[in-house]
Amino acid sequence: MHSYFRSKGYRALINAALFNGIGNSLFNIVFIIYAGSLSFKTLAVSLASFVVYIPQIINVFLGYYADNTHHKYEWMVSSRLIQFGLFMMLAFLIGMHESLWIFGILLAINVSSDCLGMFASGLELPYFRHLVPDNELNDAMGFEMATDTTLQLAFQGIGSVAIVWLNYNYGLFGVINALTFSVAALIIWTRKSIFQKIDPQLSVNQPDADMHKPEPIFKSMRTTAKFMFSKKILVLILSFAFAMNTFFSAMNGMINVSLLHNHNLWFGNYGTTVALVSIATSVGTVLGSLISRDFLAHTKFSTMITYVCFMLVVLAGYFVTGKSILLITILSFTSGYVLGKLNPRVSALVIRIIPDDRLGASMGFVNMAVLIGAPVGSAFFLTIANIGSRGITYSWIIFGICALLLGIAGVIAGIKVDESEEDVSAKSDLAQSK
């Protein structure tokens, strides 16, 4: 938080990202509500729920183009203005007579806007290195993630309430949403001098960069992947990020299914109980990201992974034995708190050791690796949970065993991998990896 008040440039990036996040969060939930009002609502809701993953899946490609963009400041502003224009178009189209073709265009607009938001995020990454000292990067990224997660949670709820207040006037809501992107563009524009001063220092704008054409996209991906896998600490992070996302995505679905069939764990009713556990995890994640100076401040990455895994083992045990929902809620909060400390560390590490002309692609690569685990874990554990009357119990037992094995792997990794490798300089290594 210190960097937010000290650095005008960092503050501008955070504020712009927050308005971008508000715009995305507001309309994503409203778009689901709109899809549910159509005559072909089952297909519409299914498509609207699926396409939100497309920008994340192609994030590595968006990062590649962000890395090779010379005029990053101009595109940070332009991308938000294009989002503004897209949502003004959406506001006009959404009031027309419903049809599958119109809905398809609205889906394309929504996905395109999200892609532009991720592209803008990739453009911003190199500036963090120039605006925030290395020793403050963990705190700075933690503050960004905490505020972003908080606003996403808050404005999804606000969006669902606001559309009712507006009497389901989706067109007017689209205009309001468009304005959030114009505010984000305005915030960046007001700090034009700061970003234009940094631009000439970026690798992509160096004189020798003009003499070489950018690598073809797939060759660039191979080079980036080869470099990242040459660093043990990055291999460790990617492996555990995949595993943790696999478990946490599956855990959410398993909790929902388990509570549905176990009335003894209900806190009043099913909906309230699911919300309680979900909110506990989210609040824990936010606080973990935001509170940087605590007893875990100097704990190794692999050690924190071990802590989370052992908590998941205990959580699985509680669901198998049908223990108190209070204990389950506390464990959900605690595991979320520790997990909230891992994500900022990953971002700060990537920003520190990856050259700025590879940051977007590298962050996209990390995000893609994390995302792949979600459907794998959900499909595996939920399939087991739906097999027979004891399926849920067996699913939790297997979940607990897998979490235990991952926790043991975390202990071994802590012994084998020197995490001081975080501090190495990456540029010379990358040149050798080409």
Q: What is the pLDDT of residue 72?
A: 86
% of the chain with per-residue pLDDT over 70: 84
Q: How far is CA 92 from CA 51, 89, 118, in A?
A: 21, 5, 24
Q: With a cut of 50, say whether residue 432 has pLDDT above it.
A: no
Q: What is the pLDDT of residue 431?
A: 42
Q: With a cut of 70, say whether residue 427 has pLDDT above it.
A: no
> Which amino acid would we find at residue 112?
S
Q: How confident is residue 424, by pLDDT bands cut at 50, 70 and 90?
A: very low
Same fold, 2-214 and 222-433: yes
DSSP 289: H
Q: Does domain 222-433 sit in CATH 3.30.70.520?
A: no
Q: What is the pLDDT of residue 326?
A: 85
Contact between 83 and 128 under an 8 Å Cβ cutoff? The reply is: no
- Judged on CB neighbours under 10 Å (0-12, 13-18, 19+), 123 is buried
CATH of 2-214, one of 3.30.1330.60, 1.20.1250.20, 2.60.120.380, 2.10.109.10: 1.20.1250.20
- Judged on CB neighbours under 10 Å (0-12, 13-18, 19+), 422 is middle
Q: What is the pLDDT of residue 433?
A: 42
Tokens of 430: 């990358």
Give first-to-last CA distance, the chain, whole Å: 38
Tokens of 104: 């398809």
Q: What is the pLDDT of residue 108?
A: 92
**Greater model confidence, 3 or 210:** 3
Residues 243-270 have a mean pLDDT of 76
Q: With a cut of 90, say whether residue 329 has pLDDT above it.
A: no
Q: With a cut of 70, say whether residue 98 has pLDDT above it.
A: yes
Q: Mean pLDDT score of the chain, rounded to an integer?
A: 79
- The structure tokens 């692999």 sit at 302
Give the C-alpha separation, 349 to 343, whole Å.
10
Q: Give per-residue pLDDT as tens, 219-247.
A: 777 777 777 777 777 777 778 877 877 77
Q: What is the pLDDT of residue 187?
A: 93
Crossing angle for the helix pair 170-190 and 137-165, to the nearest 10 degrees: 150
* CA-based nearest residue to 335, from 406, 386, 273: 406
Q: How confident is residue 206, by pLDDT bands cut at 50, 70 and 90?
A: low
Contact between 413 and 306 under an 8 Å Cβ cutoff? The reply is: no
Residues 2-8 have a mean pLDDT of 76
Q: What is the pTM of this model?
A: 0.67
**Greater model confidence, 99 or 378:** 99
* CA-based nearest residue to 356, from 148, 173, 124, 159: 124
Contact between 197 and 11 under an 8 Å Cβ cutoff? The reply is: no
Residue partners of 232: CB distance under 8 A and separation at least 6: 417, 418, 421
Tokens of 245: 């996302």
Of the listed ranges 37-41, 101-105, 145-149, the one predicted with least confidence: 145-149
Of the listed ranges 5-14, 324-333, 339-348, 368-377, the one predicted with least confidence: 368-377
- Judged on CB neighbours under 10 Å (0-12, 13-18, 19+), 291 is middle
What values do phi and psi take at 269, rounded to 5?
-145, 175
Q: With a cut of 60, say whether residue 40 has pLDDT above it.
A: yes
Q: What is the pLDDT of residue 422?
A: 45
> Which amino acid would we find at residue 128?
F
Residues 67-88 have a mean pLDDT of 90
Q: Give per-residue pLDDT as tens, 137-191.
A: 767 766 776 677 677 666 766 777 788 888 889 889 889 889 999 999 999 999 8
% of the chain with per-residue pLDDT over 90: 11
Partners of 267 in beta bridges: 269
Q: Give per-residue pLDDT as tens, 274-316.
A: 777 877 887 888 788 777 677 777 778 788 888 888 998 998 8
Contact between 26 and 158 under an 8 Å Cβ cutoff? The reply is: yes
The domain segmentation of the chain, as residue ranges, is: 2-214, 222-433
